[in-house]
Structure 1
Amino acid sequence: MRHAYRRHRGRLTGASDIANTLAKGGGGAPGLATTQFLGVPSRPADPECQAGLVALKSRSIPAGEAVEQSLAALAWLRQQGCLQIVFKYCSTFDATAEGNIGPVGEAIAAELGGRGVVACPAFPGAGRSVYMGNLFVGDVPLNESSLRHHPLTPMTDSDIRRWLRAQSSQPVGFIPWTTVSKGADELRAALAKCAAYCETLVIVDALTDEDLLAIGEACVEAPFITGGSGIAIGLPRNFLRAGLVETAQRTFRPVQGRGAILAGSCSQATLAQIAEHERAHPVLRLPVVEIVEGGVTAADVIDFVERNEGRAPLVSTSQPPGVVRALQARFGTEVVAHAIDSLFAEAATALVSRGLRRLVVAGGETSGAVASALGVESLDIGPEIAPGVPAVSTQNGRLALAIKSGNFGQVDFFARALAALEGTAG
């Protein structure tokens, strides 16, 4: 990792989200040659890598475990010569009072010797903004959005200052948009005051990409930043202006060949995307009850995909939130999740061994299970398919993937994604 920095936290999709931001760049500056690593690597990064991301499946695990994993990732990143670390979490914060965003942020800050650390999950490109410390999804406060029904982290309060204070052992600061809107110098001074008040993590308002660029400029010398993927918009520009990286980027390698889609997300966005895809393409909707009870197996998925070769087949376990809650109550949350993830992981492994070259996966947990089963260790980041979702390819160039969090993507995302993976997207 020649001169740049970077990151960790949540799931595979969350890492791809910020990887897309780094590879794309912003503020008139090109992006960086970005590689995403699945877990802490056991070997050094490629010297050509300008931004490296370590994806950890730590979003919902106990705080102590998340801190341990994150510090291991931090140690590896620093060994690669990283100059700036970003702790990335979901743009919808996805927290509980016992969550690990605060503990991980404070632990990394302690290692890097920092206070007055930005905490900003805003991602305007995906409809996430922070105003007066409250997180909005579109024009709706977080606690009035569909995230209030999230099965693992129901967001019942839009004020993320309260969530972060409940998790943190040290004072949490706040900088309003009226300060951010005055530019990088004012924001930098405000962060310095927060540090003087012994406030380690500081919620910072942001409504637009211009606000995020100002935050990036204010943090040009900051060793540590936290936030959603939007927080990285201005960071490549800092490194390019300082002459720390060259502008050459690794080229995404499109892949021709058979393609399929696996959808395990139950978000409203994914449900709408499945319905749209079904208008012109074959869709197999699997009953989760039968998956849990063993009536449906990976062989059924494989058979459906191969019978519909060339027609962008989609296999789904997605259900409305009420149905999901009923299934979880009946069988147990972990049992349901494990059954679905295992089914898709087994099916994906078999399909790739039989020659599948393009694979789209919807759902963070599902994506992680599939990538793990396929033995994917790292991914090269390609062009953006939708805000927060890039096309990616394995470093051996044999498989192209699009992996997305449930809430991301246009209504016709699945067709767009398969086209992007083979380089034919408009």
Structure 2
Amino acid sequence: MTERAKDGLDDGLLLAYYGDDFTGSTDAMEAMTAAGVPTVLCLDTPTPDLLTRFPDVRCVGLAGSSRGRSPAWMRDALPAAFASLAAFGAPLLQYKVCSTFDSSPELGSIGAAIDIGVKTMPGHWSPMVIGAPRLKRYQMFGNLFAAVDGVGYRLDRHPTMSRHPATPMDEADLRVHLGRQTTRRIELVDMLQLRAGKGAARVRTLGAANAAESPVVMIDVLDEETLVEAGRLVWEERGAGLFSASSSGLQYALAAYWRSRGWLPARASLPIAQPVGQIAAVSGSCSPVTATQIAWARANGFCVVRLDLPRALDARTASGEIQRAVEVAAAAVRRGDSVIVHSAEGPDDPAVQTFDAIARDAGLPRTDAARNVGGALAEVLRQLLDCVELQRVVVAGGDSSGEVASRLGIDALSVIAGLAPGAPLCRALSKSPRRDGLEIVLKGGQIGGDAFFGAAKAGRAI
């Protein structure tokens, strides 16, 4: 620790973060771990006693569910969560958001989270790094782009995010999009300013002029050069401590800068996962990427089980529908097959297109119905793990991941191997002997190639 401190990295924790969903939380953990920064992700408020299990930890995360919550919920829940993380003394406190900026004024408001979080840290500016080239996310002049199958899209024309069922993206300029969620001043350090070395001067000017309101300062990231410069700007201008609402682009940027200074290993890497004979997966994702992955699994010998949403959301039939899915899945596992239980296959799935009517018939608000889908899938996996022996499981979909991890009684996660960028293989820490050591992958809807479920079983890309 002493040598690192002399080299420029603070002694102790370097970063603490709250993830707005579980898949994004593991994405951030993977980025730090791969860079050589030991990281642990807690599923409940981290305590000093828990962290003694990880004596070398330099980054700690807390997985949350705020991406699917209202600003009122955030005002109730986030102050205590941010305070618990800030108490560990890391110079950077992050509200980790999705790299596709999933949010709206009513749901998952990043602006509301920023207004709460800036009060926790003493800094006079609040950096925002969203671009993450490794994840095919790019920010240029404040506008966010994402690539799919080698084709880049402005986010408001993205084939999935422009049609997202909960938070459709109708504006790619993040200053405009975030401006709908907060009255806080929003500024930009663009790629030209970064490359010209003018970022620090601009930040100091903005901070001096607007110290009382801690303006949000977005930082363009397009490529490795701007990634390093973004990391340099945040780290060198951290002062007494900063709050940052950022994607895992912040982790990648910091690691890139630290690596450029020789403070981290020259090459980022993770161990290769070992293969297993079979896996079980549950998916609540509506993404076309996940739909293609489910189709691949079906064509390659996986048992694929659809959860009947009208039955799963009706209080009178929910337990019976869950039991049916568990029985089919358990039978598949016992005969040696891998299995996926899912609620939809892509945005055009009839279950997605008619979801409002399904929720209405169940007597549920749409947001509660969506959360109950994740709860039903979580219960399927919990019961399945109680009746069959499985070493490795996969959860697809951010909201589903949160429900599943919570119901399994997992206290914390650490990365044990890489699979696909943003979806590492993790090991669970749990007080339950049956859950402790379980291998689990939490996969966002947009993450991974067609054969992702096969890769999760094989432990490598196939």
Q: Which residue of 2 aligns with 1:346?
A: 379
Structure 2 CA distance for partners of 1:268 and 1:40, relative to 1, 3 Å: same
Q: Which residue of 2 aligns with 1:22?
A: 32
1:169-213 per-position Cα deviation (integer Å, ceiling 9, x unaligned): 32111122111233xx42222222222332610122111243222
Q: Which is worse superposed, 264-273 or 230-239?
A: 230-239
Quote the Cα distance in structure 1 between the aligned partners of 2:56 and 2:272.
14
1:229 pairs with 2:219: no
Structure 2 CA distance for partners of 1:112 and 1:336, relative to 1, 3 Å: closer
Q: Which residue of 2 aligns with 1:299?
A: 323
Q: Which is worse superposed, 233-242 or 346-355?
A: 233-242
Quote the Cα distance in structure 1 between the aligned partners of 2:337 and 2:409.
27
Quote the Cα distance in structure 1 between the aligned partners of 2:164 and 2:461.
32
Is residue 262–residue 344 contact of structure 1 (8 Å, CA) maintained in 2?
yes
Structure 2 CA distance for partners of 1:276 and 1:319, relative to 1, 3 Å: closer
1:215 pairs with 2:230: yes
Q: Which residue of 2 aligns with 1:90?
A: 98
1:369 pairs with 2:403: yes
Q: Which is worse superposed, 100-109 or 236-245?
A: 236-245
Quote the Cα distance in structure 2 between the aligned partners of 1:319 and 1:34.
33
How far the C-alpha of 1:385 sits from its partner, in A, is: 1.2
Is residue 258–residue 264 contact of structure 2 (8 Å, CA) maintained in 1?
yes
| Paired letter, 1:150 | H
Report the secondary structure of 1:112's partner residue: coil
Q: Which residue of 2 aligns with 1:321?
A: 347
Residue identity (%): 26
TM-score of the pair, normalised by structure 1: 0.88
TM-score of the pair, normalised by structure 2: 0.82
How far the C-alpha of 1:251 sits from its partner, in A, is: 8.2
1:165 pairs with 2:179: yes
Quote the Cα distance in structure 2 between the aligned partners of 1:373 and 1:255.
26
| Paired letter, 2:31 | T
How far the C-alpha of 1:240 sits from its partner, in A, is: 7.7
Quote the Cα distance in structure 2 between the aligned partners of 1:176 and 1:240.
23
Report the secondary structure of 2:354's partner residue: helix
| Paired letter, 1:386 | A
1:371-412 per-position Cα deviation (integer Å, ceiling 9, x unaligned): 111011110122221111111011255300001111111111
1:311 pairs with 2:309: no
**1:106 aligns with one of 112, 115, 122:** 115
Report the secondary structure of 1:290's partner residue: helix
Structure 2 CA distance for partners of 1:380 and 1:327, relative to 1, 3 Å: same
Q: Which residue of 1 aligns with 2:18?
A: 8
Quote the Cα distance in structure 1 between the aligned partners of 2:382 and 2:68.
26
How far the C-alpha of 1:161 sits from its partner, in A, is: 0.4
Is residue 142–residue 218 contact of structure 2 (8 Å, CA) maintained in 1?
yes
Count of aligned positions = 416
Q: Which residue of 1 aligns with 2:157?
A: 144
How far the C-alpha of 1:48 sits from its partner, in A, is: 2.4
1:48 pairs with 2:56: yes
Quote the Cα distance in structure 1 between the aligned partners of 2:252 and 2:291.
29
Is residue 50–residue 245 contact of structure 1 (8 Å, CA) maintained in 2?
no
Structure 2 CA distance for partners of 1:73 and 1:166, relative to 1, 3 Å: same
1:197 pairs with 2:209: yes
Structure 2 CA distance for partners of 1:378 and 1:242, relative to 1, 3 Å: farther
Quote the Cα distance in structure 2 between the aligned partners of 1:291 and 1:218.
49
How far the C-alpha of 1:321 sits from its partner, in A, is: 2.4
Quote the Cα distance in structure 2 between the aligned partners of 1:205 and 1:70.
27
1:38 pairs with 2:57: no
Structure 2 CA distance for partners of 1:342 and 1:84, relative to 1, 3 Å: closer
Quote the Cα distance in structure 1 between the aligned partners of 2:344 and 2:407.
21
| Paired letter, 2:113 | V
Is residue 180–residue 206 contact of structure 1 (8 Å, CA) maintained in 2?
no
Is residue 252–residue 380 contact of structure 1 (8 Å, CA) maintained in 2?
no
* CA RMSD, Structure 1 to Structure 2 (Å): 2.9
**2:421 aligns with one of 363, 381, 387:** 387
How far the C-alpha of 1:4 sits from its partner, in A, is: 2.5
How far the C-alpha of 1:57 sits from its partner, in A, is: 0.9
Structure 2 CA distance for partners of 1:71 and 1:331, relative to 1, 3 Å: closer
Is residue 40–residue 414 contact of structure 2 (8 Å, CA) maintained in 1?
yes
Quote the Cα distance in structure 1 between the aligned partners of 2:453 and 2:234.
36
Consecutive unaligned residues of structure 2, counting only runs of 5 or more, are: 1-10, 361-365, 431-435
| Paired letter, 2:295 | A
Is residue 276–residue 391 contact of structure 2 (8 Å, CA) maintained in 1?
yes
**2:81 aligns with one of 70, 73, 81:** 73
Consecutive unaligned residues of structure 1, counting only runs of 5 or more, are: 26-30
Report the secondary structure of 2:15's partner residue: coil
Q: Which residue of 1 aligns with 2:125?
A: 116
Quote the Cα distance in structure 1 between the aligned partners of 2:146 and 2:187.
22
Quote the Cα distance in structure 1 between the aligned partners of 2:418 and 2:373.
28
Report the secondary structure of 1:35's partner residue: strand
How far the C-alpha of 1:244 sits from its partner, in A, is: 9.1
